[in-house]
Amino acid sequence: MQKIFFLLLALFCTLGAWAQKDNIERTWYNAEKTSKIQVYKATDGKFYGKIVWLQKPNDDSGKPRTDIKNTNEKLRTQPLLNALILKGFSKSKDDANVYEGGTVYDPNSGKTYCGKLTLNGKEIKLKGFICGFSLLGRSSTWTLAE
């Protein structure tokens, strides 16, 4: 009986550790608090973020807001809600609070940048930059929305 108890305890501990999420896998406000972005780990092991809430989900005509500034004309009718704005970030091998190697899409400009995310407690410092020129970019701080 005692062996079964320890076997079950080991199994539950293993399952708990396996199901544990990364600290960045939460919902975050953008700097202006006009949208919430849900960050999650996909099956490819990389981190992505999608818009799950908009302060103003509809345009002036009452229709859902779309990605009207996208540089790809075919994507301008795509709704902003559930749009992927963070793609392909990997956790740094040097710092467990840094995520790099991904891209950041800015729906306000319609442009995509290379990016780096730094998790600091209840904040994410997001740096977007022209790929290959990390000194040319801008930073934004997101806060935990949960």
Spans of all domains in the chain: 22-144
> Residue type at 55?
Q
Q: Which of 107, 108, 112 is nearest to 129 (CA)?
A: 112
- Let me know if 6 is exposed, middle or buried by CB neighbors in 10 A (0-12, 13-18, 19+): exposed
pTM of structure: 0.84
Distances (CA, A) of 17 to 10, 53, 67: 11, 30, 39
Model confidence at 19, pLDDT cuts 50, 70, 90, reads low
Helix then strand then coil, % of the chain, to nearest 5: 15, 45, 40
Options 3.40.605.10, 2.40.128.520, 1.10.10.10, 2.60.40.1930; CATH for 22-144 is: 2.40.128.520
**74 phi/psi in degrees, rounded to 5:** -65, -25
* Per-residue pLDDT tens over the stretch 98-126: 999 999 999 999 999 999 999 999 999 99
Please report which confidence band the pLDDT of residue 90 belongs to, taking 50, 70 and 90 as the band edges: very high
What single letter denotes the amino acid at residue 15? L
CB 37 within 8 A of CB 49: yes
- Asked whether residue 14 carries a pLDDT value surpassing 60, the answer given is no
* pLDDT at site 2: 55
Quick check: 80 and 63 in contact, CB under 8 A? Answer: no
- CA-wise closest residue to 28 among 52, 47, 45, 46: 52
